[in-house]
Amino acid sequence: MKLDRTAGLTLGLTFGIPLTLALLNQTTDVSAALHVPTYVIALAGKYLCFAMLALAVDLVWGFAGILSLGHAAFFALGGYAMGMYLMRQIGSRGVYGNAMLPDFMVFLGWKELPWYWHGFEWFPFAMFMALLVPGLLAMGFGWLAFRSRVTGVYLSIITQALTYALLLAFFRNDMGFGGNNGMTDFKDILGFPVQADGTRSALLVISAAFLCAQYLVARSIVRSRFGKVLIAVRDTESRTRFLGYRPEAYKLVVWTLSAVMAGIGGALYVPQVGIINPSEFAPANSIEAVIWVAVGGRGTLTGAILGAVIVNFGKTWFTGALPNLWLYALGALFIFVTLFLPNGVMGLFAARAKKPAPELEAAE
Amino acid sequence: MRRFFAILLLAALALAPGPSKADQADDAFAALASTSFDSVRGGVEQLSASGHPRAAAVIGALQSGKLYFRPDRALFIKQDDGGYLHALTAAAIADPGTVKPVRVNNGIRNAIDAALGAMRLFSPDTATRLTAAEAVFHAAEAGALPALNKAIAKESDPSVRLRMEQARAAAILSSADSGEADRIQAVSVLRTRADIDARGFLASLSGQPPAVADAIAVAITAIDRKAQLWSVAQSVYYGLSLGSVLLLAAAGLAITFGVMGVINMAHGEMVMIGAYTTFAVQQFMRAHTPGMYGASLLFAVPLAFMVSGTVGIVIERTLIRWLYGRPLETLLATWGLSLVLQQGVRTIFGANNKDVDTPSWMSGATQLGGLTLTWNRMYIILFSAIVLAALMAALRYTSLGLRMRAVTQNRRMAAAMGIRTPWIDALTFGLGSGVAGMAGVALSQIDNVSPNLGQSYIIDSFMVVVFGGVGNLWGTTLGALTLGITNKFLEPVAGAVMAKIVVLVLLILFIQRRPRGMFPLKGRAAES
């Protein structure tokens, strides 16, 4: 596969920067000028996971025209799968010292592990579930929705209903996923302590690698013949259908893939932030993911990564420096980007690179 | 036997106070000063029949555990300050010597209830008589029968009389010497009462003659069936109430989303602004016109309409008009706007919940058969009906409504006919937002007024509009009521959260079947 300059730069930076950060954190002394503190490593890891979610949203929104307002649900489901694995790893080191049951189950007076928790002590199974559960949910949901041609705003609204329903469901203690508090107090992952600097650095580099891999997969998809059909579906679905394609099949494939990508992001997110709870399902999170894409530039995969990092960096900075202004800034960003930057930051770059192309007269 | 005497004595009291009253009272006081429960119980019944002026005070003291006796059978009432009163003379006694409290058991408590009740049955105050009849009913003491008979004969208020008859029925069924026909008659009286108390009392009866037992079984089944019907009705009422709240929140959205096709994610914030307007109006009126404070909501409704409507028009002119034809972008921009509005309100009013008072005429509840109807919910149902009717009338009969419909149906043709479509857009958006503001006034009565108020309704409102069918107020109404009632019927079965989840999943599935809602727009307007 041949990479153009943007792709090369994206891959280089996406992998290079986290790798450098991780190396600096590991090899330099705490007092050294170039030392990268561990909280930066954790933050960077979080950004990369959000970038995966953004990439997933961009794949369906930017290239298939499906505006999902519920993508954080897939992210959170992947996160819960990882969280379940991490909970099982705690073993008897929990507060109640029960080797079989996570603390919250002991607290709720459960006697044995629910059937759906079995297998999660085994890492490959948990990771398989982190892919399978979001993928299956997306496939079922997409199959229903695309087959009956629910499109546009209606689709957006029911994706939001989906994540809202999951939010409510995971808040329930009876579900066996820790209810309101979710899962936290993780001890180790694959035998390495999750809190340790080394583990954090390694997770950061692994996240970067996964993000690059996802970027490459997404890129090869959108540049393939399949991707061309997707773009046709995005632009005029009915015309594509009249040409003999089945838009619902194309949409279903990319939708499911996108959910799996989001699930991977979630699975990598949980060990790095150390908690997963139902608030990850909040509709606002999904909408925020959409704005990352919009800021970076919808329909440009690099833009999704860039947008996620920029907005989240801004969020970190604002909530630290001017906490009261963050929502104003985020809200203004939504408005500003949709009104004045329809192609996002990447659109700015593109406009600088080449003189503005003569705009196509929009046929009404 | 003692009970029989007590009945006789009660009857004697009721019919003709005899000369031996003082003796009876002395006997009764002596009986109370005992460690034997039977003796105390008899004493209570005798005392209530004696008509002694201190009877009520002594029985009351016994009820609250303040009645003490000395081995010489003198009775004392312990005061709150630790001193004692002589029970018969009400004279203060500094040191009564060694006293022991008169102990009571459940049987005596029942006798006390019945005795106090029986004494109050003749109170000149209707409300007192009513509570007394209830107390006698709950005590279900055969000893109260004569007093009840007398009270029923005297009673002129039909509702009190009914309660007394029910109390008599309970007493008849508890009495050992009632005839079978009387008992069956009593069961039928309780059957018509048909509430949970009557059912509980009937179910607790044992040792009745077979015919009576059969009648009781039939009555219990009948009461259960009735209760079931009432609980269905109650669910419908709760559902209507929830549905009307949803309708209020969604009606404005039905205009902006349904008629204009604008996805206004800041719609919830228009509701929130309406609620805060109510708060501000109440603050202002409390400070400046306290006399009219009770009518504050009546002032808040038009004000909320104007405030939210103005904000809506400003939003349309500055933001939304640039985004027509790009629904997904509108969605994002208005979401951003909603964040700004929330944070703005948080900055101005603070993040805490605000207290919005419920006027006295809206609080409380009324009973309708087995239904409990809370006034604030009733008013909200009424209010949403009025808002809906006004909205429909505005769309149908006003010139603005006509233009709005014209623009909805065919924008270009409407423009060609000389309608200034941009202004119609702005006014339509203002109308939808204003209705949301009025919804905020109603929601301020049942929900916390906080900056997040709107967010909790936005998803539900969209669901309602999409479910009902875009661009159709009747669809919105039916959608809101269906969702509300479905939710409330699922709640007892599945729990509140689960009911909501089930409704959401059902909705997602429903939209698969009918992607354009229950009542889709027909014709070209639907092709978008």
Q: Which tokens belong to B181?
A: 């026909």
Residue B84: CB atoms within 10 A of its CB come to: 20
pLDDT at A122: 92
Decide if B332 and A338 are in contact by the 8 Å CB cutoff.
yes
Kindly state the average pLDDT of the residues A313-320.
90
Query: Could you list the mean pLDDT of each consecutive 10-residue stretch along chain B, which spans 528 residues?
Result: 56 48 71 81 77 76 83 81 78 78 82 77 79 81 77 83 85 80 84 80 80 85 86 88 89 81 87 94 89 86 95 92 82 90 91 85 79 86 93 91 86 89 90 92 88 86 84 86 90 85 88 79 50
Q: Name every chain B residue with its beta carbon within 8 A of the beta carbon of A161.
A: 459, 463, 504, 507-508
Give the mutation candidate from B260, B455, B470, B511 for the A interface (greatest A CB count, under 10 A).
B511
Q: What is the pLDDT of residues B114-143, one digit of tens each?
A: 777 777 777 778 888 888 888 888 877 777
CA dihedral B201, B206, B208, B211 (to 10 degrees): 80
Rounded Cα distance, A102 and A92, in Å? 9
Indicate if B160 and B254 belong to the same structural domain: no
Both B199 and B253 in one domain: the answer is no
> H or E stretch including B473?
helix B473-494
pLDDT at A356: 45
Please tell me which residue of chain A has the smallest CA distance to B344.
A328
Same domain, B126 and B53: yes
From the list B51, B4, B1, the residue with the least C-alpha distance to B28 is: B51
Residues of A in contact with B263 (CB under 8 A): 153, 156
Size of interface A-B (CB pairs under 8 A): 121
Domain extents for chain A? 5-353
Tokens of B497: 């959260």
In a domain, B212, yes or no: no
From chain B, pick out residues whose CB is under 8 angstroms from the CB of A149: 515
Q: What pLDDT score was predicted for residue B522?
A: 61
Q: How many CA atoms lie within 13 A of A294 on its CB side?
A: 28
B215, part of any domain = no
State what percent of residues in chain A have pLDDT above 70: 96
Residue B488 belongs to a domain: no
pLDDT higher for A137 or A355? Answer: A137
- Is the pLDDT at A362 greater than 60? The verdict is no
Best A158, A170, A298 residue to mutate vs chain B (most B CBs within 10 Å) = A158
**Residue A127 pLDDT:** 95
What residues make up the domain containing B297? 248-466
Helix (H, G, I), strand (E, B) or coil at A192: strand
Compute the distance between CA of residue A297 and CA of residue A310 in angstroms, rounded to an integer: 12
* pLDDT value of position A132: 96
Residue type, A50: F
Query: What is d(CA B448, CA B440) in angstroms, rounded to the nearest whole number?
Result: 11
Q: Which residue is closest to B342 within chain A, CA to CA?
A: A327
The band of A131, judged by pLDDT with boundaries at 50, 70 and 90, is very high
Q: Do B323 and A338 touch (CB under 8 A)?
A: yes
> Could you count the other beta carbons within 10 Å of the beta carbon of residue A350?
17
Whether residues B183 and B264 share a domain: the answer is: no
Given this model, what pLDDT does residue B11 score?
A: 52
Residue-wise pLDDT tens digits, A151-173:
888 888 889 989 999 999 999 88
A75-96 mean pLDDT = 91
SS3 content of chain B, % helix, strand, coil (to 5): 75, 5, 20
Q: Is A5 exposed, middle or buried (0-12, 13-18, 19+ CB in 10 A)?
A: exposed
Interface contact A331-B339, CB threshold 8 A: yes
Residues 6+ apart with CB under 8 A from B82: none
What is the interface pTM, i.e. ipTM, of the complex? Answer: 0.84
Residues of A in contact with B516 (CB under 8 A): 154
pLDDT digits (tens, 9 = 90+) for A214-235: 999 999 999 999 999 999 999 9
Q: Is B482 a domain residue?
A: no
Paired tokens of B369: 């058969």
A37 vs A51, higher pLDDT: A51
Identity of residue A331: G
Residues in A closer than 8 angstroms to B462, CB to CB, are 157, 160
CB B144 within 8 Å of CB B167? yes
Report the pLDDT value the prediction gives residue A41, as an integer from 0 to 100: 92
pLDDT recorded at residue B17: 44
Q: Mark whether B152 and B252 lie in a shared domain.
A: no
pLDDT single digits (tens) B318-368: 988 888 878 778 888 998 999 999 999 999 998 888 888 888 888 888 877
Cβ contact, residue pair B328, A152, below 8 Å: yes
User: What mean pLDDT, rounded, does chain A reach?
Assistant: 89
Query: Does position A363 have pLDDT exceeding 60, yes or no?
Result: no
Which chain B residues have a beta carbon less than 8 Å from that of A153? 263, 327-328, 331
Cα distances from A340 to residues A216, A325, A343, B319, in angstroms, run: 30, 21, 9, 11
Indicate if B186 and B256 belong to the same structural domain. no
B327 vs A152: CB contact, 8 Å cut-off?
yes
Cβ of A157 within 8 Å of Cβ of B323? The answer is no
Asked if A160's CB is within 8 angstroms of B459's CB, the reply is yes
Q: Which of B466, B489, B515 is the last residue of a domain?
A: B466
* Per-residue pLDDT, B153: 83
**B183 lies in the same domain as B308:** no
**CA pair distance B466, B460, nearest whole angstrom:** 10
Domain for residue B518, yes or no?
no
Mean pLDDT of A281-293: 92
Distances, alpha carbon A206 to alpha carbons A41, A59, A157, B270, in Å: 12, 22, 34, 45
CB contacts, 8 Å: B455 with chain A = 284
* Residue B513 placed within a domain: no
Give the per-residue pLDDT at B4: 56
Q: Which H helix or E strand runs over B371?
A: strand B371-374
Predicted pLDDT at B145 = 78
Across the interface, which of A147, A335, A342 has its CB nearest the CB of B336?
Answer: A335
B507/A158 Cβ within 8 A: yes
Total domains present in chain B: 2
Q: Does A140 touch chain B (CB under 8 A)?
A: no
Chain-chain contact of B512 with A147 (C-beta, under 8 angstroms): yes
Average pLDDT over residues A59-76: 94
How many whole angstroms separate alpha carbon B472 and alpha carbon B202?
52
The better pLDDT of the pair A29, A134 is held by: A134
- What is the pLDDT at residue A140? 94
Q: Is residue B500 part of a domain?
A: no
> Are B15 and B122 contained in the same domain?
yes
Task: Give residue-wise pLDDT tens across range B11-54.
Answer: 555 544 444 555 667 777 778 887 888 888 888 877 776 667 77
